[in-house]
């Protein structure tokens, strides 16, 4: 098992040696390595068992730090970074030559940058002379980790150190936005809502379903899978169809009086639901249930991003 601690110096030293460290962010835990060191980046793909066609996000301490790696920063991107960084937004920018290895970006001419909003990780990034490539710290295709323990459960035998920043406050991955001829496109719905982005830069195209050749592999239909089959629908109907004694229930706000249920937010808050989502999906693993019955949230705010995760989780055949 990996060591879990709050020693930033130790994390920085390991990263400088080309080792991997799990880092906390406000969205989910990341599996970090030096983005400019090919061997470190290759280790990230190996540890996650991630296909090489899936590019990594590069984490920086501020927008300024992206400048030497990109050709230009569109005005709208700059505005978004000013308002929402540090925060749960990844901005895809046109890449300049080969300073950032092609392995990081899976050969794409663009690179996704994120400035995470977590005190420990910001201190770490400010200490380092290089940015951090960091995908979510889970095996490829599985639910993202929102606590140090989640990381240790799945990757503990493959990495030596987990920087402990507590439970993630947002709980779902960052929203990913890019620009084609100045037109904004969202590639992944996430911790920053579409509404908040549109309030700043106007209409945004949402392009999160690209089946065969994904621009952003988070777009793959079967992603974010918990270990059990997840069935989406109206919970009252589903409970008539499936046996209550062997079905887990994941409801938004309603109490179904089952020993095998998780209520995402009894008060009906999508923010609270996002924070609990991945943790609760993992809880069903330890329950004596065969399937998970779940319902969608209202399709507004973070509800969109949660529904996206639930739909992808339900698309997996286990
Ligand atoms: O919240 C987050 O974004 C977390 C934390 C650790 O920062 N990271 C994360 O990374 O979710 P990952 O690797 O699990 O998901 C990154 C997604 C992938 O779906 C990838 O395809 C997409 O970002 N991506 C990376 N670079 C891209 C690019 N240049 N263009 C389009 N999509 C890109
Ligand atoms: Mg991921």
Does residue 213 fall inside a structural domain?
no
Q: Which of 23, 55, 91 to mutate to test the pocket of ligand 1 (most atoms within 8 A of CB)?
A: 55
* The domain boundary residue, chosen from 120, 145, 168: 168
Rounded to an integer, what distance in angstroms lies between the CA atom of residue 122 and that of residue 59?
10
Does residue 45 fall inside a structural domain?
yes
How many structural domains does the chain have?
A: 2
Ligand 2 centre and the CA of 137: distance in Å? Answer: 7
User: Same domain, yes or no, for 36 and 162?
Assistant: yes
* The domain boundary residue, chosen from 138, 168, 198: 168
pLDDT in tens, 110-129: 999 999 999 999 999 999 99
The whole domain housing 68 covers 3-72+81-168
User: Same domain, yes or no, for 9 and 153?
Assistant: yes
User: Same domain, yes or no, for 103 and 14?
Assistant: yes
pLDDT in tens, 66-111: 999 999 999 999 999 999 999 999 999 999 987 999 999 999 999 9
Ligand 2 centre and the CA of 47: distance in Å? Answer: 13
Ligand 2 centre and the CA of 106: distance in Å? Answer: 15
User: Same domain, yes or no, for 116 and 239?
Assistant: no
C-alpha distances in angstroms, 127 versus 16, 123, 132, 189, 278?
Answer: 10, 6, 12, 30, 30
Instruction: For the chain, give the percent of residues with pLDDT over 70.
Output: 94
User: Same domain, yes or no, for 133 and 253?
Assistant: no
Does residue 242 fall inside a structural domain?
yes
Contact 90 CB / ligand 1 (< 6 Å):
yes
Contact 185 CB / ligand 1 (< 6 Å):
no
pLDDT, the chain, mean: 94
Nearest atom (ligand 1) to Cα of 32: 6
* The domain boundary residue, chosen from 168, 199, 219: 168
- Of 40, 42, 4, nearest to 22 (Cα)? 4
User: Same domain, yes or no, for 52 and 155?
Assistant: yes
Ligand nearest to the backbone CA of 171? 1
CATH number at residue 254: 3.40.50.11030
Confidence (pLDDT) at 223: 57
Does residue 194 fall inside a structural domain?
no
Does residue 200 fall inside a structural domain?
no
Does residue 191 fall inside a structural domain?
no
Contact 251 CB / ligand 1 (< 6 Å):
no
Confidence (pLDDT) at 208: 86
Q: What angle do CA 2, 169, 184 make, to 5 degrees?
A: 110
Contact 27 CB / ligand 1 (< 6 Å):
yes
Does residue 187 fall inside a structural domain?
no
Contact 135 CB / ligand 1 (< 6 Å):
yes
pLDDT in tens, 185-234: 999 999 999 999 999 999 999 998 654 444 555 555 555 667 799 999 99
Residue 17 scores a pLDDT above 70: yes
User: Same domain, yes or no, for 123 and 9?
Assistant: yes
User: Same domain, yes or no, for 149 and 14?
Assistant: yes
User: Same domain, yes or no, for 68 and 151?
Assistant: yes
């Amino acid at each position: 098992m990996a060591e879990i601690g709050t020693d930033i110096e130790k994390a920085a030293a390991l990263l400088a040696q080309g080792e991997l460290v799990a880092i906390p962010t406000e969205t989910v835990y990341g599996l970090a390595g030096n983005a400019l060191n090919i061997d470190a980046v290759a280790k990230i793909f190996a540890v996650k068992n991630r296909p090489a066609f899936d590019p990594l996000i590069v984490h920086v301490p501020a927008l300024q730090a992206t400048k030497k790696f990109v050709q230009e920063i569109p005005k709208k991107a700059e505005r978004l970074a000013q308002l929402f960084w540090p925060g749960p937004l990844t901005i895809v920018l046109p890449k300049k030559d080969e300073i950032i290895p092609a392995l990081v970006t899976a050969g794409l001419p663009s690179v996704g940058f994120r400035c995470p909003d977590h005190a420990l990780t910001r201190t770490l990034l400010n200490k380092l002379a290089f940015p951090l490539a960091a995908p979510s710290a889970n095996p490829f295709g599985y639910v993202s980790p929102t606590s140090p323990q989640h990381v240790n459960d799945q990757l503990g035998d493959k990495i030596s150190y987990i920087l402990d920043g507590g439970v993630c406050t947002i709980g779902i991955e960052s929203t990913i936005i890019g620009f084609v001829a100045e037109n904004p496109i969202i590639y992944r719905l996430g911790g920053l809502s579409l509404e908040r982005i549109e309030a700043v830069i106007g209409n945004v195209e949402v392009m999160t379903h690209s089946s065969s050749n994904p621009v952003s592999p988070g777009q793959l239909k079967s992603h974010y899978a918990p270990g059990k089959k997840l069935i989406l629908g109206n919970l009252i109907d589903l409970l008539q169809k499936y046996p209550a004694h062997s079905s887990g229930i994941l409801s938004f706000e309603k109490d179904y009086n089952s020993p095998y249920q998780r209520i995402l937010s009894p008060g009906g808050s999508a923010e609270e639901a996002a924070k609990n989502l991945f943790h609760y999906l993992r809880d069903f693993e330890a329950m004596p249930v065969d399937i998970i019955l779940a319902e969608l949230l209202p399709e507004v705010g973070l509800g969109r991003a949660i529904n996206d995760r639930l739909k992808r989780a339900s698309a997996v055949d286990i």
